[in-house]
Chain A
Amino acid sequence: MYNTLSKLILFIALSCSFNVVAAPVEIFQFDSPENEKIFHKLSEELRCLVCQNQSVAESNADLAKDLRLEIYTMLQKGKTEEEIASFMVDRYGDYVLYRPPFRPMTWLLWFGPVIIFFFGMIFVVRYMKAQNMSKKVDSLSEEELERIKNLHAGQDKK
């Protein structure tokens, strides 16, 4: 039993380490540290379309490799970060950006959570008020008032 368990742990540990080894590595020589910074920033902010939950920086897919080379080549040619980003958007659409642009088309995307939160707050406040209201006893019936009177009267006599 313990043997199997330790084998399993070893297996998991090993497969994790393989993942690390498998992270894409290419050697790019940059003209300036700024370009290198932009390269890393861009490739982390661009979605790899083949394997959609990875960025261009993380992915091993052929296309991601090609796009990294493209970013590198454009940087070496002196293109700016914005120029490279719009190059990608022109070809693959806004979808390649992990950070969607702020435009009328995407207002719902940006404001949606705030709006939903706002409605949620209204709901919660109203719910809490309703809860408080229902705790209060509306009013006593004639009978009950009579009984209270009688009880008070009885006490007074004592």
Chain B
Amino acid sequence: MENNQPSMMKRFMPLIMFVALTALLGIGLTLNPREVPSPLIGKPAPEFDLPLLLSEGRFTNKDLIGHVTLVNVWASWCFACRQEHETVKYLSRNGVRIIGLNYKDEPDDAKNWLATLGNPYQAVAVDYSGRISIDWGVYGAPETFLIDKQGIIRHKVIGPLSDQEKYDELMSVMSTLEK
């Protein structure tokens, strides 16, 4: 009689498979497919030469060398940029060098936006056509790049910086960089 009983292993096999599959799908649910890892991490910031929004003159990738910098891609039409704005201002107040990259925006709208909400940027470069942002692998706003002193991209945040988890991650990478 005992031989006809399925072994313990066999009896629990469906349960084991169910748990394994659930775990796999569960992990899948926690991943965000909208956040595509950037292949630019560890590479030098792409070359660019763009006009400034608030003054005469231009901003180029060479201006990134020598400082730890956040390059914040934003636009006045972007709702999530408004959401993260207080965080960006907070960082700026605490001495972080932040350069704005105004993405596919009307300069007048962008100027109004900064005048109303406050300007945390040391400089704002205008990418009116969005062509330079393609080189940066930008596919939405806001996006924030952390650039080290040598001009190498060290980290990328996709979406608002006000997200605690993303903010902490950015801070931890930033703390490893030479000031």
* A binding-site residues for B, Cβ under 8 Å: 49-50, 52, 62-63, 66-67, 70, 89-95, 134, 138
Contacts and interface: CB of A to CB of B under 8 A. Distances in A.
Nearest to B129: A66
Contacts of B134: 66-67, 70, 91
Contact of A90 (B3, B39, B139): B39
Given A66-B134, A67-B134, A50 B139 contact: yes
Interface in B125-179: 129-131, 134-137, 139-140
Contacts, number: 41
Interface residues of B, number: 19
Nearest to B139: A49
B33 A52 contact: yes
14 contacts: A49-B36, A50-B140, A63-B140, A66-B130, A66-B131, A66-B134, A70-B134, A91-B136, A92-B36, A93-B37, A93-B39, A93-B137, A94-B39, A95-B37
B149 to A, nearest CB: 24
Contacts of A93: 36-39, 137
Given A70-B134, A91-B134, A134-B4, A63 B139 contact: yes
Nearest to B6: A130
Contacts of B3: 138
A108 to B, nearest CB: 13
B50 interface: no
A70 to B, nearest CB: 6
In this complex, the member of B3, B33, B39 whose beta carbon has the largest number of chain A beta carbons within 10 angstroms is B39
Contacts of B11: none
B4 A92 contact: no
A91 B36 contact: no
